[in-house]
Amino acid sequence: MIYSVVQKKDENDKDVDIKVKFNVGDVRRVLDLRDSDDDPIIVPERLCKGLCFRMGFSAHVNDKYLNSKFCHPYKFLVHCVVQALSHRKGAYDETSDYIMNIMTCLVLNRPYNISQVIFDHTIDNIKGKKYIMYPRFIQILLSDQVLDLLKDPVDELKLNHMTSETLSR
């Protein structure tokens, strides 16, 4: 369980502390991740390495999983998963073992407990000295528990739909 306090202005423009708490079930419900506690968070290493060969991985599978070593169709998929779900602030060309577990289950259409992975990495980042990761997930969780939470429009990320030109790049 993660416990925290959010400060919010009340109707009299005074700061009020609101207690919030999150668990894996909240992550699963709010992000609408249709996994369960029974789903695995680790897949066999042999399965991941076998999938790397099927995805056209051109380096030695006992080395680091580098995105640049996958064939083009899968390179884009790996890039998207790493950008969306990695808890790091850098080194996005290197794919972590847990990201390869996610990729394996995604490509092979197997169940995977992504809610638990997101929750575990969020807790690891809280305990460490890293900047909080998964800010988009945290914001969704906070908005679910704290109604009418003010958001600064400057902090909002504007999304544009992909066009043929952006996809070809």
**Angle at Cα 121 formed by Cα 84 and Cα 99, nearest 5°?**
45
Residue-wise pLDDT tens digits, 146-157: 887 777 777 666
Q: For residue 131, is pLDDT > 70?
A: no
Name residue 130's amino acid: K
- Confidence at residue 139, expressed as pLDDT on a 0 to 100 scale: 82
Q: For residue 72, is pLDDT > 70?
A: yes
Q: What is the mean pLDDT of the chain?
A: 84
pLDDT (mean) for 107-117: 93
96: Cα separation from own chain's centroid: 12
pTM, full prediction = 0.77
- Confidence at residue 68, expressed as pLDDT on a 0 to 100 scale: 83
CA distances from 57 to 53, 70, 108, 119, 160 (A): 5, 4, 16, 29, 31
What is the percent of the chain with per-residue pLDDT over 70, rounded to a whole number? Answer: 91
Closest CA to 149 of 140, 159, 160: 140
- Confidence at residue 102, expressed as pLDDT on a 0 to 100 scale: 92
DSSP state for residue 55 in the 8-state scheme:
T
Report the 10 Å Cβ neighbour count for 74.
18
- Confidence at residue 150, expressed as pLDDT on a 0 to 100 scale: 73
For the chain, the structural domain boundaries read 1-34+134-169, 40-112
Say which residue, 160 or 128, is predicted with more confidence: 160
Say which residue, 85 or 134, is predicted with more confidence: 85
